[in-house]
Amino acid sequence: MNSLQLLTESGFFWQDRIKGFARMNDRVLALWYRMPNELVAESELVQIAKSLLRMVSTQEDGGGFFTVKKDHHPLQVHVHFNRWPHDLKPLFGREESVH
């Protein structure tokens, strides 16, 4: 399984309004989950972030860390990669941003 498969099989889709992800910059992926219970959203976002980092740390991509952004609505988790996962590179061929 690769990073993109993990995201889509977990219900996260590129720039989806409810449960989505987007590239913030060359090393940061933003994940968000819009739901009334922010504790449940945060738990799922943190789990996905940990899984993504565990996946890339076993490859040549390195690893990284994540931060929870509680001041965003919807709640976001930013995954900071040491190197961008190779399987996500084609998806972000052009500059994208979170809005």
| Spatial separation of the C-alpha atoms in residues 71 and 74, rounded to whole Å | 9
Q: Indicate the pTM of the whole model.
A: 0.84
What is the enclosing helix (H) or strand (E) of 20? strand 19-23
Condensed to tens digits (0 to 9), the pLDDT of residues 40-76 reads 999 999 999 999 999 888 766 668 999 999 887 888 9
Instruction: DSSP letter for 35, please.
Output: -
Once rounded to an integer, what is the mean pLDDT over residues 27-39?
A: 93
